[in-house]
A and B are shown apart, each in its own frame.
Chain A
Amino acid sequence: MSSRGSKMEEVKLFGYWVSPFCRSVEIALNIKGIQYEYIEEDLTNKSPQLLQYNPVYKKIPVLLHNGKPIVESMVILEYIDETWKNNPILPEDPFEKARARFWANFVDQKCFPALWKTIWSTSEQYEQNKAEALERLKVLENELGGKRFFGGDSIGMVDIVANFIGFSFRTIQEALKLDVFTEDNFPKLWEWAENFANCSPVKKCLPPQDKLIANFPPAYMGKTLVSSFQSRLQLQFHPPAAAK
């Protein structure tokens, strides 16, 4: 079928449509123009393959390349960049590369959990969680500065890892009537998000807005509903624990 030694052979991605970690991988694959088979996982009933390929965490995303599994979204991004060298997502210069890795970690470990917490806040928790999220977004906006993207003229690793901020979070917060990430508070990030969501590798894998909204019921909708839904998602994402 494919030529021997072709890196295009058998690329599979085990994912979950809501997951921004999975979306990071999809965006990277799209940037590189890699054809892949996407397998949607039911997180309440994980497939034997998923459990086999990621025995340590049992989580998506899992990238399968020529039968070998690579897990953890940031590790996968590095793997993709090293395996397919066109359209690099990391800069060439070691210092700029280090900087990109640093900020990708910041988004992953500090921004995402803070934003996630605001979505799942009760009304008592909201103001405090919002304050933390605002702090983190402020730091991120300062880093963006006057750049179009964190990666410069085109999207790079930091932009990819920040995909939740770039698209899904704004959709969800609008539906839930939250006021965390606003154009007034973060004009640069706002503009970044508009540009980011319009990039073709990103547009290709964005979830439909209405489907996304339906997936996040308002936190005030009653404890039972939220807690059962939350427990399903928390199988997958960082639980809204205290920030490190």
Chain B
Amino acid sequence: MAGEGVKLLGYWASPFALRVRSALKLKGIEYEYQEEDLGNKSPLLLQGNPVYKKVPVLLHNGKSISESLVILEYIDEVWKHNPLLPEDPYERARSRFWAKFVDEKCVPALVGVITKVGEELEKSAREAREHLKTLESGLDGKRCFGGTKIGFADVAIAWIAYWVRMEQEAFKIQLIDQQNMPLLAAWIDYVLEDPVMKEFMPPYDKLVKHTRDLREKLTAVVSN
């Protein structure tokens, strides 16, 4: 499908950029991808997102859209086929709620696992487990957040499946418990098998190394 000048500025390890790539793929939109060097951001990125200077940024017909969830909504509104959001306003509200919940609660806890040590790390891991358990309730017994098939919330949240597994392995801590969170564990399996969702997940070993390096750097700063 012709993209009418669609370009995405992203970063391979960014879950937020991943969301947008998955959404564009689900809609079958052709676009140019530009990998950003976050240590040397391109003029296009600085211009496209002057407020935060962060990826992802979607460029479409010369206009720039920032903030991954805002971009997802934009994509859904411009390209109306294969809708991401359900039609019913109440169900739309539910999808938006869970996408926001992940950003507000799960992200800080999962970041805490990377950046903290000792007791603070334990606390972050505990919080992450708590929030993941809450997240499970959002499935409402269904296979995915979108119901029977992947929708807005799944696209927004899918990266968690990957990152949680990665953090568990990289830092030898438990975040997902098959017994305690069977539905979420099943959703994680489902999402990681989905060809579209897994297409843009970063190479696993590379991500593990990247995260370990990041942790080393950040915790060295903290303890100094």
Residues of A within 8 A of B (CB): 55-56, 65, 68, 70-72, 74-76, 78-79, 82-83, 94-95, 97-99, 101-102, 105-106, 139
Residues in chain B within 8 A of chain A (CB atoms): 51, 60, 63, 65-67, 70-71, 73-74, 77-78, 89-90, 92-93, 96-97, 100-101, 134, 137
The interface centre, meaning the residue of B60, B67, B78 with most chain A CB atoms within 10 A of its CB, is B67
Contact present for B93 and A70 (CB under 8 Å):
yes
Identify whether the interface residues of B are mostly helix, strand, loop, or mixed: helix
Chain B residues positioned under 8 Å from A94 (CB to CB): 74, 77-78
Distance in angstroms between the alpha carbons of A139 and B63 in the assembled complex: 19
Once A72-B100, A106-B51 are accepted as A-B contacts, the answer to whether A79 and B93 lie under 8 Å apart by CB is yes
Chain B residue with Cβ nearest A56: B134
Q: Are B77 and A101 in contact (CB under 8 A)?
A: no
Interfacial chain A residues near B100, Cβ < 8 Å: 72, 74-75
Q: Which residues of A contact B92 (CB under 8 A)?
A: 78-79, 82
**Which residues on the B side are within 8 Å of A82 (C-beta)?**
89, 92
Q: Considering the chains assembled together, what is the distance between the CA atoms of A76 and B92 in angstroms?
A: 10
How would you classify the secondary structure of chain A's contact residues: helix, strand, loop or mixed? helix
Kindly state the separation between the CA atoms of A75 and B97 in the bound complex, as whole angstroms: 7
A83 x B74 contact (CB < 8 A): no
Cβ–Cβ < 8 Å partners of A97 in chain B: 73-74, 77
Contact present for A139 and B97 (CB under 8 Å):
no
Most chain A beta-carbon neighbours within 10 Å: one of B73, B77, B92, B93: B93
Contact assessment for B101 and A56 in the assembled complex, using a CB-CB cutoff below 8 Å? yes
Closest 6 CB pairs of A and B: A94-B77, A82-B89, A98-B74, A79-B93, A98-B65, A101-B70
Kindly provide the distance from the CB of A236 to the nearest chain B CB, expressed in whole angstroms. 15
Q: List 10 A-B contacts (CB under 8 A).
A: A56-B101, A72-B96, A72-B97, A75-B100, A78-B92, A95-B74, A97-B73, A97-B74, A102-B67, A106-B51
Partner of B71, one of A74, A78, A98: A98
* Most central of A74, A94, A105 by chain B CB within 10 Å: A94
Q: Report Cα–Cα, A106/B66, bound state, in Å.
A: 11
Q: Which residues of chain A have C-beta atoms less than 8 A from B134's C-beta? A: 56
In the assembled complex, the Cα of A68 lies from the Cα of B78 at a distance in Å of 29
Instruction: Give complex CA distance A76, B101 in Å.
Output: 14
